[in-house]
Amino acid sequence: MKHETKILLLSAALAAMMLPAAAQTSTTPTQPTPVPATRKPGEIQERKENQQDRIGEGVENGSLTAGEAGRLESQESRLNQEERRMRAANGGKLTAADRAKLNRQQNRLSKEIYQQKHNAQKQNTNPKSEVGKRLENQQDRIGQGIENGSLTPAEAARLEKKDAAINHEVNNMREHNGGKLTPAEKAKVNRQENRVSHQIYRDKHNNHRQHN
């Protein structure tokens, strides 16, 4: 009987020792599988997107004229070309020196965007004439394309230069006709605007995209 009692006591003690461990195992929460953090775009890409948004907004709200926007987009296009050359020379990556150089260039462009948007030159956002309304509509379409990436800087630069040329021509025509356009001049300008309008559509619906 004594031997059996010892066995029972030992069994009870062993069970008591195992219970806390079992309880700890059962109550320890399972660690969730780590979820990979969303990959943020690089600083260079973020800055490019921000610059494009600022230019697009300026085109739409009239704080940038077609000529100003065209020059800014030409600069942005040259920066994109330089970045592509840098990546091609380094297996698709940018070196620390490359990033520093591009950031300095973006700093200069950022200041120029600010200056151009806050100078005295403004686009007429409330034109009365048919020609003026068409030009305003085209600027809105270009501005939207710049912001949503359906127009690359190179495409936007070409379109803005064409609109700037039309604006310049219209101003010259008005100066020679007491502020008005003759029927022949209106017809000529409308044909030019038709061509630009078709080009805007084609550029916004092709496979070229601004990579933001």
Give the model confidence (pLDDT) of 111-124 as tens digits.
999 999 999 999 99
Residue 123 contacts by C-beta under 8 Å, 6 or more apart in sequence? 59, 62, 63, 64, 65, 66, 136, 139
Which of these ranges, 6-15, 94-103, 133-142, 166-175, has the smallest mean pLDDT?
6-15
Mean pLDDT highest for which of 11-20, 21-30, 63-72, 124-133?
A: 63-72
Helix 66-89 to helix 96-117 angle, to the nearest 10 degrees? Answer: 180
Residue with the two structure tokens 């190179």:
154
Encoded amino acid at 51, one letter: Q
DSSP tag of 152: -
* Residue 166 CA: distances (Å) to CA of 66, 135, 136, 170, 198: 10, 9, 12, 6, 15
Categorize the per-residue pLDDT at 207 as very low, low, confident or very high, splitting at 50, 70 and 90.
Answer: confident
